[in-house]
Amino acid sequence: MAAYKRSRTQQILAVVIVVGLALLKVWLDQHDEAGQRRQRGDAGPAVGTVPADGASDWFEVERVVDGDTLLLEPDHTRARLQGIDTPETV
């Protein structure tokens, strides 16, 4: 009789562990997804665009306006870094 109770207890414990792990995975997936959205900067509209042909240009930074805005040479273009959260100080 004791073997039956032990086996039944082990089965219940196994089910509780499996359900607990499944709930933990769902919870972690939801929090990870929210973190990725914050890192990608999905909170606001994108200001710049990527060239359609995939080409990229190199620019020299003339100066840093604040923590996430750069002034680029040669034509003094302002570039704002998306997904970077810094204080707005000069």
Alpha-carbon gap, residue 6 to 26, rounded angstroms: 30
pLDDT, average across residues 4-22: 88
pLDDT, average across residues 64-79: 83
Q: Higher-confidence residue: 86 or 79?
A: 79
Q: Is the pLDDT of residue 45 over 50?
A: no
pLDDT, average across residues 52-60: 69
pLDDT, average across residues 32-50: 55
Confidence at residue 8, expressed as pLDDT on a 0 to 100 scale: 87
Confidence at residue 40, expressed as pLDDT on a 0 to 100 scale: 52
pLDDT, average across residues 37-66: 64
CA distances from 1 to 4, 6, 11, 13, 88 (A): 5, 9, 16, 19, 72
pLDDT band at 89 (very low <50, low <70, confident <90, very high): low
Output the pTM of the full model. Answer: 0.35
| Residues contacting 83, CB < 8 A, separation 6+ | 38, 39, 40, 41
